[in-house]
Amino acid sequence: MKSFIGAVIFICVAFSANAQLLWKVSGNGLTQPSYIIGTHHLAPFSIMDSIAGLQKAMNETQQVYGELKMSEMQSPATMGKMQKAMMIESDTTLTSLLSPEDFESANKFCKENLMVDLNMAPKLKPAFLLNNVVVMAYVKHVGKFNPQEQLDTFFQSQAAQNGKKVDGLETAEFQFNLLFNGSSLQRQAQLLMCTLNNIEAEVENLKKLTNAYMKQDLNTMFKISEERKGNQCDALPSEEDALIYNRNKIWAEKLPAIMKAAPTFVAVGALHLPGEKGLLKLLKSQGYTVEPVK
């Protein structure tokens, strides 16, 4: 299941039994509290109506930090870097990575859902296709999805409109490298076919994940992300660390200085929050008081 969660990092990773997405961080030398909210790219804006204290948290903070600075993602320079990162630079092609049967299956899906003929784009990395396969499969099976409603972008754009500082905990280059170069091309191809061969089950799991998010149930989201099939489709420990836990550690190291500089509204993927190695627990272990906003 983690391989699927990893694929939705752009879209897309149990701290309390309470249903909760918004958390207040105080103490440990902070003169004013900061706030952390877990986001989910497939959630509609209507979720904000049920998050207690959200507007207050946005009003009281002076800067917004996300995983990325979203306004930079549309710049020509950043788009150029992404286009380079998503292409295979070696002599390897999709036809050499996939068996004839798997290539035909992948191409059929891509032509029907992505309007891409892989015969015309043989140098696309499997990881790039996997990200798009997951999104399109979800959109196809779940109605009323609005790609213009992205919580991360909303929080940052609102802050910018109010003259507040907006920044990212990571660079676009870092995420491109994580997504498209984080594993071998052979492993990427393996995970692509794992998803395509189990697409209905994967979509159902994503529906469950989204439903849990709409209920602000981090515990259930965490449990879904931890499910294992017991085969090659499961994430390796190194992949899990790279995708979730190593990043949590880095963010937890960066946030004290950021929060000390000014009260901060932090918006990152919800699956980064829960668990013993989650961002909330890491901040608590540093001496901060981390509590749900009611």
The DSSP bridge pattern shows strands 289-292 and 63-66 to be unpaired
Which DSSP string do the residues of 234-277 spell out, in sequence order?
A: SPPHHHHIIIIIHHHHHHHHHHHHHHHHS-EEEEEEGGGSSSTT
- pLDDT number for residue 206: 86
The three-state secondary structure class of 119 is: coil
The percent of the chain in helix, strand and coil, each rounded to the nearest 5, is: 55, 10, 35
> Measuring CA to CA, how many Å separate 194 from each of 145, 198, 239, 291?
25, 6, 15, 38
Q: Over pLDDT 70: what percentage of the chain?
A: 93
Q: Hey, what are 44's tokens?
A: 């509609």
pLDDT digits (tens, 9 = 90+) for 230-261: 888 888 899 999 999 999 999 999 999 999 99
Choose between 134 and 217: higher pLDDT.
217
Identify the pLDDT of residue 12: 41
Give pLDDT, residue 19: 66
- Tell me how many domains the chain contains: 1
Torsion, Cα 182 187 237 234, to 10 degrees, reads 130
How many other C-beta atoms are found inside a 10 Å radius of the C-beta of residue 87? 13
CA distances from 21 to 215, 247, 256 (A): 9, 19, 20
> What pLDDT score does 263 carry?
98
Residue 29 Rama label (left phi>0; alpha psi -120 to 50; beta): left
What pLDDT was estimated at residue 18?
46
Residue 274: give the domain boundaries.
2-292
Q: In Å, how far are 8, 19, 75, 80, 182 from 13, measured between CA atoms? A: 9, 17, 26, 26, 16
pLDDT at 169: 98
pTM: 0.90
Report pLDDT digits (tens) over 141-178. Answer: 766 677 778 899 999 999 999 999 999 999 999 999 99
In this predicted structure, what is the pLDDT of residue 14?
Answer: 35
pLDDT band at 13 (very low <50, low <70, confident <90, very high): very low
Residue 288 near residue 25 (C-beta atoms within 8 A)? yes
Distance CA 129, CA 248 (A): 26
Mean of all residue pLDDT scores within the chain: 90
Q: What is the pLDDT of residues 110-129, one digit of tens each?
A: 999 889 999 999 999 999 99
The pLDDT tens digits for 29-65 are 999 999 999 999 888 899 999 999 999 999 999 999 9
**Average pLDDT rounded to a whole number, residues 9-22:** 54
Picking from 279, 280, 253, 288, the residue whose alpha carbon sits closest to that of residue 26 is 288
Q: For residue 214, give Cα distances in angstroms to 41, 45, 139, 179, 277.
A: 12, 10, 17, 26, 23
Q: What percent of the chain shows pLDDT beyond 90?
A: 74
